[in-house]
């Protein structure tokens, strides 16, 4: 369940970075690995599915699919952890998260990406993360 009512100050967002670095790095690595493994298994299946000898490996293929499902569930658990913290994952691949906030009396999000040392930009709720603006100290 999402904690969508949480609103962060910039100091609260920044205070969460040590924990978020761990969780988001795990998410990004797991997402990238899962995407690569799914791509490989699809490619192998396309290349060999109609070959009679490939069917000998049916049990192994089913086992790989089960492992992928488990890995997806593990990844989902990380995402739910972020949601419990009140943070929104915008890109699992790039490790981008948003912190709900209010800027100039408008709903907005502070945005942080896992390769950044600090929370340095934001975007309004009706904008995408591509529309980020620098946070002005004040």
Is 3 part of any domain? no
Domain coverage including residue 81: 10-134
Is 2 part of any domain? no
3 pLDDT above the threshold of 50: no
Is 94 part of any domain? yes
Q: What angle do CA 53, 54, 55 make, to 5 degrees?
A: 90
Q: What pLDDT does residue 62 have?
A: 77
The residues, any chain, with a CB within 8 Å of residue 6's CB and separated by 6 or more, are 85, 86, 100
Is 1 part of any domain? no
Per-residue pLDDT band for 40 (boundaries 50, 70, 90) equals confident
Is 44 part of any domain? yes
* CB burial readout 46-82, b (16+ within 10 A) else e: eeeeeeeeeeeeeeebeebeeeeeebeeebeebbeeb
Helical segments of the chain, H only: 10-15, 17-48, 58-85
Take residue 10 and report the two structure tokens written for it. Answer: 């910039």
User: In terms of Cα–Cα distance, which of 76, 74, 99 is closest to 19?
Assistant: 99
Is 111 part of any domain? yes
Question: How many structural domains does the chain have?
Answer: 1
What pLDDT digit, counting tens, does each position of 74-127 carry?
A: 899 999 999 999 999 999 999 999 999 999 999 999 999 999 999 999 999 999
* Overall pTM surpassing 0.75 (yes/no): yes
What letter does residue 4 receive in the DSSP assignment? Answer: T
Is 89 part of any domain? yes
Is 51 part of any domain? yes
């Amino acid at each position: 369940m999402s904690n969508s009512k949480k609103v962060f100050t910039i100091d609260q967002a920044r205070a969460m970075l040590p924990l978020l670095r761990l969780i988001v790095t795990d998410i990004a690595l797991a997402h990238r690995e899962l995407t690569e493994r799914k791509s490989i298994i699809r490619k192998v299946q396309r290349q060999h599915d109609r070959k009679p000898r490939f069917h000998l490996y049916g049990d192994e293929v089913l086992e790989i699919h089960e492992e992928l499902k488990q890995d997806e569930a593990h990844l989902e658990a990380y995402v739910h952890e972020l949601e419990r913290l009140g943070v929104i994952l915008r890109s699992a691949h790039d490790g981008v998260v948003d912190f709900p906030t209010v800027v100039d009396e408008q709903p907005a999000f502070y945005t942080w990406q896992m390769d950044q040392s600090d929370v340095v930009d934001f975007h309004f709720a009706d904008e995408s993360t591509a529309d980020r603006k620098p946070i002005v100290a004040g």
